[in-house]
Amino acid sequence: MITASMLYNFIRCPHRVAMDLFENPALKDPVNPFVQLLWERGNCFEEEVITGLDVPYTDLHLYYGEEKKRRTMDAIARGDELIYGGRITAGDLAGEPDILRKQGSAGYVAGDIKSGAGEEGGSEENDGKPKKHYAAQLALYKDILERSGFAAGRTPFIWDVHGREVTYDLDAPQGPRNPRSLWNEYETALETVRLLVSRTELTLPAYGSECKLCHWYTACRRRLKESDDLTLIPELGRTRRNTMMSYFPTIGDLAHADLESFIRGNKTDFRGVGPDMLRKFHKRAELQKQPGARPYLKDKLHLPEADRELFFDIETDPMRDICYLHGFVERSNGDNRTERYIAFLASEPSEGEEERQFAGAWDYIKSSRPCVIYYYSAYERTVWRMLRKKYPRVMSADEVEDLFDPGRSVDLYHHVIRPKTEWPTHDFSIKTLASYLGFSWRDSNPSGAASIEWYHRWTESGDPDIRQRILDYNEDDCTAMRVLLEGVRKLRVKDG
């Protein structure tokens, strides 16, 4: 049977579906503690929402398989208003929506309870858009209800962590430049999942941001390395790999290719890959294959100057939709001995604390001026813009724009690493690059996901050791940026 979780995984990574179905389970990594926390939070939140309902409901969540399905059908036949934890099937499709809600006399709409925001956030271009992995699950429920003759309307819903009901319009175009609807996406995904299940279509692993939390990480990474897969080139990705791999099956093949024979004017033989992009990937492939390769500058570097530098990093919890930590490593006159760490950590995951720490961090920045602020990727700026909207009395819109003006603040990833440098590494994450330069984190398991898990445990237990672990990790992230900046300043410009 094709289930909602298969579609959810497929949207994240098609290979995950094939691995879950056909790979030896003994090769799985242990469940990541953050993923475990997501499950636990999801279950707790679902229970909170359900027990807080002030309307009667039919509770089927403790039943399994055929029994669950039979009871769901009975509840639908009786016309029960709200069914919690049911099971519906049609043909090769099976869904277990958290909620089935009667809508007039027409039938049922399905919904899920999610312990996160019901829509995308955290990046300016995606803010407020539907989450595609949620949409695929909701579309499957709707498909089953329609095939069974129980559907009412085409707008399933999410009950999210903010207590909102977010409806998903499956038929609307996704945007002015993308006429495809979420339903179109679902149909394509379903078709491909069917091909994967029947082994008519085979997939390959692809190195990407999803991998580090996936239980197949070790198995896939070994295979990627053995096959010298193109996705181990930073930013190349699955889609471009699939387009290019019949000509360049390996990084070695790309590194040794006569590139210009694939370029015609302002086009290449590869859809979605322009000449500049192809040359860039070719250089990265060469760098990976060159023994003793060193990173280099592609162009001269001009950075704003100030006696005081602030290396700034935030931590956020997507489950509670809260920014719980603003951390700074402050350095004066380029002297590492002057470094000190300043942190604004929310003592509880509440809006009051979030606002207080945001205001504290802003006061600290103002008191530190003149200074240059370094951060890594647009996330800090995006979150501060969102916090500013949420707490307008803390700072004005002009102040937040001025703060992140490139004359005062440097996004090391977007302003420096991507446009100005090349590295013989598989990605450009701060962990990878600072580690390449010899920096090591004090924690044995440093990651933003782990920090979220520690924050949950600290706010529940009050354990000072866990608090310190959160702060140490954030301080190390800030220091890693300083190490990276120094490393970049030492790089030589390489022509061509």
Report the nearest approach of ligand SF4 to the CB of residue 203 (Å): 8
Q: Is 341 an interacting residue with respect to ligand SF4 (CB under 6 A)?
A: no
Nearer to ligand SF4, 189 or 371 (CB): 189
Nearer to ligand SF4, 13 or 145 (CB): 13
Q: Is the dihedral of CA 29, 30, 35, 39 positive or negative?
A: positive
Q: Which of 161, 206, 470, 485 binds ligand SF4 (CB under 6 A)?
A: 206
Report the Cα–Cα distance between both ends of the chain, in Å, rounded: 54
Q: Is 383 an interacting residue with respect to ligand SF4 (CB under 6 A)?
A: no
User: What is the rounded distance in angstroms from the CA atom of residue 401 to the CA atom of residue 403?
Assistant: 5
Q: Is 214 an interacting residue with respect to ligand SF4 (CB under 6 A)?
A: yes
Count Cα neighbours of 363 within 13 Å in the Cβ-side half-sphere.
Answer: 10
Pairing type for strands 308-317 and 372-375 reads parallel
Nearer to ligand SF4, 11 or 434 (CB): 11
Q: Is 6 an interacting residue with respect to ligand SF4 (CB under 6 A)?
A: no
Q: Is 210 an interacting residue with respect to ligand SF4 (CB under 6 A)?
A: yes
DSSP codes, 24-59: -GGGPPPPPHHHHHHHHHHHHHHHHHHHT--S--EE
User: What is the rounded distance in angstroms from the CA atom of residue 328 to the CA atom of residue 339?
Assistant: 10
Report the nearest approach of ligand SF4 to the CB of residue 74 (Å): 38
Report the nearest approach of ligand SF4 to the CB of residue 238 (Å): 8
Kindly provide the residue ranges of all beta strands, DSSP E only, lying in 243-321, ordered along the sequence. Answer: 263-264, 267-268, 296-297, 308-317
Estimate to the nearest angstrom the gap between the alpha carbon of 241 and the chain centroid. 21
Span from 107-115, 208-216, 406-414, 421-429 in contact with ligand SF4 (CB under 6 A): 208-216
Q: Is 241 an interacting residue with respect to ligand SF4 (CB under 6 A)?
A: no
Residue type, 12: R
User: What is the rounded distance in angstroms from the CA atom of residue 442 to the CA atom of residue 472?
Assistant: 7
Q: Which of 57, 63, 217, 296 binds ligand SF4 (CB under 6 A)?
A: 217
Span from 8-16, 384-392, 437-445, 451-459 in contact with ligand SF4 (CB under 6 A): 8-16
Span from 12-20, 88-96, 298-306, 356-364 in contact with ligand SF4 (CB under 6 A): 12-20
| Residue with token string 């690059």 | 433
Q: Which of 15, 280, 426, 482 binds ligand SF4 (CB under 6 A)?
A: 15
Q: Is 484 an interacting residue with respect to ligand SF4 (CB under 6 A)?
A: no
Span from 207-215, 270-278, 358-366, 380-388 in contact with ligand SF4 (CB under 6 A): 207-215
Q: Is residue 116 helix, strand or coil?
A: coil
- Give which of 290, 257, 287, 263 is closest to 275, Cα–Cα: 263
Nearer to ligand SF4, 32 or 479 (CB): 32
Q: Is 216 an interacting residue with respect to ligand SF4 (CB under 6 A)?
A: yes
DSSP 131: P
Contact positions vs ligand SF4 (CB under 6 A): 13, 15-16, 19, 205-206, 210-211, 214, 216-217, 220
